[in-house]
Amino acid sequence: MATNSMAGSNPPMFYTVSEAARILRVDAATIYRAIREDAFPAVRVRTRYVVPARAVEEIAQQAAESGGVVDIAQMAADKRNARDFERATGGAW
Nearest 5°: phi and psi at 76? -65, -40
Q: pLDDT tens digits, residue range 16-25?
A: 999 999 999 9
Give the separation between CA 41 and CA 15, rounded to whole angstroms. 11
Cβ pair 70, 34 in contact under 8 A: no
pTM listed for this prediction: 0.70
Q: Which domains, and CATH codes, for the chain?
A: 14-89 (1.10.1660)
Whole-number mean pLDDT of the chain? Answer: 86
| Residue 7 three-state SS | coil
Which residue(s) pair with 52 in the sheet?
Answer: 14
Higher per-residue pLDDT: 1 or 53: 53
H or E, element range at 51 = strand 48-52
Whether 93 shows a pLDDT value over 70: the answer reads no
Confidence of residue 7 (pLDDT cuts 50, 70, 90): low
Higher per-residue pLDDT: 60 or 51: 51
